[in-house]
Amino acid sequence: MNPSADSDHQPPPNPPVRGDRNAVDPVVERFHFLVNAPALFNAVVTALEWDLFGMLAKHPGASFEELRRATGVPAHSLRVLLHAVCTTGLLERQADGAYHNAPAADELLVPDGPDSWRHILTGWKEIYYPAFTRMSEALAAGTNTALAAHPGDEPTLYRRLSHNPELETVFHRSMSAFTLKSLDSLVECEEFATVRHLLDVGGGDGTTSEQLIARHPGLRSTIFDIPSVSQLAAEHNTAGEADRERIALHPGDLFADPFPAGADAVLFSHVLEIFSGEQITELLTKAYSALPSGGRVFVYGYNVSDDETRGWYSARLSLYLNVLASGQGMAYPARDYEEWARRAGFTGVRTLTDHPYEHGLTIGTKA
Ligand SMILES: C[S@@+](CC[C@H](N)C(=O)[O-])C[C@H]1O[C@@H](n2cnc3c(N)ncnc32)[C@H](O)[C@@H]1O
Q: Is the CB of 225 under 6 A from ligand 1?
A: yes
CA of 308 to the centre of ligand 1 (A): 25
pLDDT confidence of residue 241:
72
pLDDT of 138 over the 90 cut: yes
CA of 320 to the centre of ligand 1 (A): 15
Query: Quick one: pLDDT at residue 124?
Result: 98
| Helix (H) or strand (E) run with residue 337 in it | helix 334-343
With both helix axes pointing from N to C terminus, report the angle between 75-88 and 26-49 in degrees, rounded to the nearest 10.
140
Helix (H, G, I), strand (E, B) or coil at 48: helix
Phi, then psi, of 71 in degrees rounded to 5: -85, -30
Element (H, E) at 198: strand 197-201
Half-sphere exposure of 164 (CA within 13 A, CB side): 16
Mean pLDDT of all residues in the chain? 93
Question: pLDDT at position 239, please?
Answer: 67
Q: To test the ligand 1 pocket, which listed residue (225, 280, 320) has its Cβ within 8 A of the most ligand atoms?
A: 225
What percentage of residues in the chain have a pLDDT greater than 90?
Answer: 89
pLDDT for 362 beyond 50: yes
Residue 257: CB partners within 8 Å, gap ≥ 6? none
CA atoms within 13 A on the CB side of 121: 18
Q: Report whether residue 175 contacts ligand 1, using a CB cutoff of 6 Å.
A: yes
| Beta carbons within 8 Å of 234's beta carbon, 6+ residues apart | 249
Query: Using one digit for the tens of pLDDT, what is the confidence trace for 281-316?
Result: 999 999 999 999 999 999 999 999 999 999 999 999
Residue 143 three-state SS? coil
Quick one: pLDDT at residue 160?
97
Give residues with Cβ within 8 angstroms of 207, minimum separation 6. Answer: 114, 175, 176, 179, 180, 183, 236, 238
- Flag whether pLDDT at 4 surpasses 90: no
Average pLDDT score over residue span 22-35: 89
Read off φ and ψ for residue 266, nearest 5 degrees. -120, 130
For residue 14, what pLDDT band results from cuts at 50, 70 and 90? very low
pLDDT tens by residue, 191-249: 999 999 999 999 999 999 999 999 999 999 999 999 999 999 998 867 677 777 899 99
Residue 9 has pLDDT above 90, yes or no: no
Find out whether the beta carbon of 333 lies less than 6 Å from any atom of ligand 1.
no
> Which pLDDT value is given to residue 3?
46
Least confident of 63-67, 162-166, 243-247, 272-276: 243-247
Residues 348, 342: contact at Cβ < 8 Å?
no
Ligand 1 center to 70 CA (angstroms) = 40
Q: Could you tell me if the CB of 269 is within 6 A of ligand 1?
A: yes
pLDDT at residue 156 above 90? yes
253 lines ligand 1 (CB under 6 A): yes
- Using alpha carbons, list the distances in angstroms from residue 11 to 87, 88, 95, 146: 7, 11, 13, 37
Q: Is the CB of 174 under 6 A from ligand 1?
A: no
Q: What's the 83 CA to ligand 1 centre distance in angstroms?
A: 39
The answer to whether the CB of 317 falls within 8 A of the CB of 331 is: yes
Mean pLDDT of 257-267: 97
* Nearest atom within ligand 1 for CA of residue 156: 16
For ligand 1, say whether the CB of 202 is within 6 Å of any of its atoms. Answer: yes
Domains, the chain, ordered by start: 5-108 (1.10.10.10), 117-365 (3.40.50.150)
Chain centre to alpha carbon of residue 74: 33
Does the CB atom of residue 226 touch ligand 1 within 6 A?
Answer: yes
- For residues 235 and 244, give the distance between their C-alpha atoms in angstroms, rounded to a whole number: 11
Distance 302 CA to ligand 1 centre (A): 15
Mean pLDDT of 141-160: 98
pLDDT-derived band at 18, boundaries 50, 70, 90: low
Report the pLDDT averaged over residues 175-202.
Answer: 96
How close is the Cα of 190 to the center of ligand 1, in Å? 24
Residues 201, 259 contacting (CB under 8 angstroms): yes
Q: What's residue 128's pLDDT?
A: 97
Residue 24, pLDDT score: 81
